[in-house]
Amino acid sequence: MSDVTPIPTVRSFHGRVPVPGDKSLGHRALMFAALAEGVSTVAGLPSGADVRSTRSVLTSLGVQFENLTDGAVRVIGCGGNFATPATPLDCGNSGTTMRLMTGILAGAGIDTTLVGDASLTARPMARVAKPLAAFGAEVTTTDGKPPLKAHSHGGKTLKAPAEPISTGVASAQVKSALLLAGLFAEGTTTVVEPAASRDHTERYMRWLGVPIRADGLSISIDGPARPKAFTQTVACDPSSAAFVAAVAVLCDDADVTIPRVLYNPSRLGFFRALSAMGADVQFSDPAPDGPEEVADIRVRSGRLTGTRIDGELSLDSLDELPLLALMGAFAEGETIVADAAELRHKESDRIASTAAMVRALGGTIEEREDGWRIVGGPLRGGEIDAGHDHRIALSGAVAGSRLPGVTVRNFAVAEVSFPGFLDVLRRFGSE
């Protein structure tokens, strides 16, 4: 069977278009429910492979789950008293699963190995393993990459580091791993970042009663501590909403509303950048929802002009930068994306794979060490190779919604984050 998927073009795109639950929240909801003492109920979990990997890992550690008839999941928390797994913990393609669970397992003192697929095995993990040593925990890597080995600390309670721990990079995953380890440590754990990263973990901790406080780029928690059990419906994923919005902007005739999207400033960089390019993007008033806020997003078709995306805007739209580069190829004039060198260390080297995607469509793009220079101009159909990267697969589908004759090789990898994206295009769009 061929692994090349033809993409349907979309000329009219209307309606109220739902997107999957947010992956970042889904991972954390399951982890905090497992760490709690008592029963939690989580609805709206994304069905993609990454969050399933987190559930699978927690199941291997003895956490009990029950699927409810309305699609929600009941989690029987173990208070962090995990069982030692009989086999290595398979994190699949999910870097969030591996990095955050490494912090939890280091704190809990569970003797185990974390593994992943070929793509995950190529990703840097020393950035998590090394700072955990400040607790007295031992995590070893394989030449700085997976497999990772978490070692038992003989049943002893960890001590919080006497000095603040630097993450070294602005990474929510590294910061979260250290804060999660801090839940098991006696004393005050303080984590310092070089620049602000996403704060989902801190919001969860605050919402669930963990003693936590922030002072600029410094975050401290008092341990040992455990979160309260909770009930939550996971907000919808702004990264998935970005692909729906991009299709709408490129359409000849579009007016779509994406309901109940996570409204966290650190996750809305794509929409700020798209607005800067001239897109018609409107948010409803945000409303509190569990640890976060949610809002509806309305997007209509329109013309784009090039812009510059760098600094904080690049950080806040990091996962969506390949899609923004593609939008730059459709825009009038020049688009510059900078300060995004971290893209070299994702599911693919996204700077290189994005450049290859735009060139496959006949576009003009200059690959730089930390981003691209894109010049908008005529584009055509072509074959895009997604490799192991769901963001490239979905960006290729956005291109195909506008350009006839686009195919995506290995499009199935899109199931990691947005199962059924092509079905969404067929359901709400028409040629």
As a whole number of angstroms, the distance between CA 333 and CA 328 comes to 8
Could you give the count of Cα atoms lying within 13 Å of 191 in the half-sphere of its Cβ?
33
Sheet hosting strand 383-385, strand order edge to edge: 4-6, 407-409, 383-385
**Selection from 414, 424, 428, 401 nearest residue 6 by Cα:** 401
Distances (CA, A) of 163 to 178, 185, 196, 216: 13, 14, 20, 17
As a whole number of angstroms, the distance between CA 85 and CA 145 comes to 21
Could you give the count of Cα atoms lying within 13 Å of 320 in the half-sphere of its Cβ?
30
Which pair of tokens denotes residue 106? Answer: 């280091």
As a whole number of angstroms, the distance between CA 256 and CA 29 comes to 29
Give me the active site residues, please: 319
Beta-bridge partners for 213: 220
As a whole number of angstroms, the distance between CA 231 and CA 42 comes to 6
Q: What angle do CA 101, 102, 103 make, to 5 degrees?
A: 90
Are 275 and 426 in contact by the 8 Å Cβ rule? The answer is no
As a whole number of angstroms, the distance between CA 235 and CA 6 comes to 31
Q: What angle do CA 167, 169, 171 make, to 5 degrees?
A: 85
Beta-bridge partners for 396: none
Could you give the count of Cα atoms lying within 13 Å of 338 in the half-sphere of its Cβ?
7
Q: ω into residue 288 within 30 of 0, thus cis?
A: no
